[in-house]
Structure 1
Amino acid sequence: MKISIQKLKSKLDQIYLAYNRKQYVDPDPLLFLYNYPDVRDREIAGIIASSLAYGRVTMIMQAVSVVLEKIGPDLHRFVMNADPKCIAGMFQNFKYRFATGDHLIALIMGLQKVIAEYGSLGACFASDQAGETDLLDGLARIRTRVIQAGGAGHLLADPQKTSACKRSHLFLRWMIRKDQVDPGGWSNVPAAALTCPVDAHMFKIGHMLGFTKRRSADRICAAQITEGFRQINPDDPVKYDFCLTRFGIHDGLDMSELKRFLKDDTYHV
């Protein structure tokens, strides 16, 4: 059933007001970013947390916690003073699915390279943003420089390929948006340009709302779902990402409950 944008927006705003709260963050790797008031530390925590954000959420939380605890509270200082031989012992036994200690060391040394060249990850990301609308060039710029250091492998998705780059867009949401949940920090990048991080939950929601008919969560699917939300909230199309994806993740919030609430309320872009 096709309904008005305003009616769907009203329902989504109700969900946002009810669930876009810090009490619903755990379990979510976003939780770790709250420990870093300095943006220089927060962006490093964010890229590490998002890089490991695949698989079961409980295992993601455990893996990110191990890494950040080993590094300590001053992430920026650690990264800028890191030496691969000196930190090898810290991560030699680390293993999370496809990620090993060698991947982490390569990521840290790649981040060191980026920050040394640009001053921060945010500065690298936004250095050529004039006229861009999808921010893929900024993601590619960071990835290219990190990969040049060698060995980070799959930890940073390639935005030039056909995947939805869910982890990368999740990182951008954390760093660019600022509300009760997303901490922000990159104030020079517009939230209007963000793309939805399409995980299994957002993929189902995108179909539920009629925003996409794609059979896989690829880059086209992410663009279609984002465009659907952009029709509702052009200045902040990713606004509803967190609150909607609590259903199916957070205890007590089932996807069937969301489906009942949104029943028949689909808008086909």
Structure 2
Amino acid sequence: MKIGTRKLKSKLDQLYSAYNQKQYIDPDPLLFLYNYPDVRDREIAGIIASSLAYGRVAMIMQAVSAVLKKMGPDLRGFVMNADPESIAGMFQNFKYRFATGEHLSALIMGLQAVIADYGSLAACFTVDQAGGTDLSEGLVRIRTRVVRAGGAGHLLADPQKTSACKRSHLFLRWMVRKDQVDPGGWSNVPAAALTCPVDAHMFKIGHMLGFTKRRSADGVCAAQITQGFRRICPEDPVKYDFCLTRFGIRDGLDMSELKRFLKDDDYHV
């Protein structure tokens, strides 16, 4: 490991120790996953929360909370017993930015179809993986089955396009990694294969660290930023995502403060 990489790893590990704590989760839609000890419920909470994870974080929290409250504590039971008419009525007044009650109802019915076919979202995701490291196939499989049910629209990103698929990779981080913050549950998916969820904050951080020069947060940008972190922590390249993105989200943690802490000529910050 080069001296600049060692220095950066040391600083990132300091940030991880300081901020990768449950006390720094709120406000973050990850918070909702802690209400579901059964992984079969948690994966449903995770895909709904991540699907709505765009826009202002306070509004995201309100939208996710409203949806999960209506669904009740038994998410799997709710999904499997849902019928299109009752779901449409339940969410007819739902509106969050581009998402309508029709989108949300279609997502829930699509999740029902996935679980009916495979038994769980995890089983659908991993059915043909066989220990491989290309997780995009699993995301495509879930999305394809959901979309086939019709109407979910933009709620699930298409990994076959040029998007960074931030919300999809955020969902995978939550479900695959297990530490003080990420609850995990999908233990047969390797953390080493995860891709960094690139939002506006991680896009700035990726440039700050010299991991990317891309002008937009697209799929290539996400791959470059992930590769930068993989050089530091090959077994868990998404390890530092949560602690780094507290800056610019949490009150009192400013991005300029992060830049001052990380500044070092050896790794281009």
Q: TM-score, normalised by structure 2?
A: 0.97
Matching residue of 2:210: 210
Judge conservation of contact 1:196–1:226 (CA < 8 Å) in 2. Answer: yes
Q: How far, CA to CA, are the matches of 1:133 and 1:41 in structure 2?
A: 25
* In structure 2, distance between residues paired with 1:238 and 1:129: 20
Distance 1:184 1:265, change over 3 A: farther
Deviations 1:206-252 (A, max 9, x none): 00000000000000000000000000000000000000000000111
Q: Percent identity over the alignment?
A: 86
CA spacing shift, 1:265–1:95, aligned 2, 3 Å = farther
Q: Structure 1 pair 9/248, CA: closer, same or farther in 2 (3 Å)?
A: same
Name the counterpart of 1:103.
Answer: 103
2:11 equivalent in structure 1:
11
The count of residues paired between Structure 1 and Structure 2 equals 267
Structure 1: runs of 5+ lacking an equivalent:
none
In 2, Cα distance between equivalents of 1:173 and 1:219: 16
Cα distance change on mapping 1:266 and 1:141 into 2, 3 Å: farther
Corresponding residue of 1:66: 66
SS at match of 1:181: coil
Give the aligned CA root-mean-square deviation in angstroms: 1.1
1:81 equivalent in structure 2: 81
Relative contact order, higher structure (CA 8 A, sep 6+): 1
1:101-180 equivalences under 5 Å are: 101-130=101-130, 132-180=132-180
Change (3 A) 1:124 1:82: same
Amino acid at match of 1:36: Y
Between the aligned partners of 1:16 and 1:129, the Cα distance in structure 2 is: 30
Displacement after TM superposition at 1:267 (Å): 3.2
SS in 2 for 1:4: helix
Q: Which amino acid aligns with 1:96?
A: Y
Specify the alignment match of 2:40 in structure 1: 40
Rounded to whole Å, the distance in 1 between the matches of 2:23 and 2:229 is 24
CA contact (8 A) 1:134 1:195 kept: no
Q: What is the identity, as a one-letter code, of the residue corresponding to 1:157?
A: A
| Matched residue SS, 2:143 | helix
Amino acid at match of 1:233: C
Residue 194 of structure 1 aligns to which amino acid in structure 2?
L
Question: What corresponds to 2:249 in structure 1?
Answer: 249
Cα distance, 1:131 vs structure 2:
5.6
C-alpha separation between the residues in 2 aligned to 1:254 and 1:15? Answer: 14
CA distance in 1, matches of 2:134, 2:4: 26
Query: What is the Cα deviation at residue 133 of structure 1?
Result: 2.1
1:107-158 CA-partner distances (Å, limit 9, x unpaired)? 0000000001110000000111126323000000000000000000000000
- Letter of the 2:70 counterpart: K
Give the distance between the partners of 2:72 and 2:86, measured in 1 at CA: 15
Is 2:190 aligned against 1:190? yes
**Shift in Å at residue 88 of structure 1?**
1.7
Q: CA–CA distance in 2 between the matches of 1:67 and 1:244? A: 28
CA contact (8 A) 2:131 2:189 kept: no
Q: CA deviation at 1:89?
A: 1.6
Cα-to-partner distance string for 1:153-175 (whole Å, 9 max, x where unaligned): 00000000000000000000000
2:212–2:224 CA contact under 8 A, matched in 1: yes
For the residues of structure 1 that align with 2:6 and 2:264, how far apart are their CA atoms?
14
Contact 1:3 1:267 in 2 (8 A): no
Counterparts of 2:180 and 2:102 in 1: how far apart (Å)? 36
**C-alpha displacement of 1:266:** 5.6
Cα offset, 1:87, TM superposition: 1.9
Q: 1:4 offset after TM fit, Å?
A: 1.9
- Match in the other structure for 1:222: 222
Aligned structure 1 segments of 4 or more residues deviating by more than 3 angstroms: 265-268
* Cα distance change of structure 1 residues 265 and 244 upon mapping to structure 2, 3 Å threshold: farther
Corresponding letter in the other structure for 2:83: D
Query: Does structure 1 retain, via aligned residues, the 8 Å contact 2:133–2:190?
Result: no
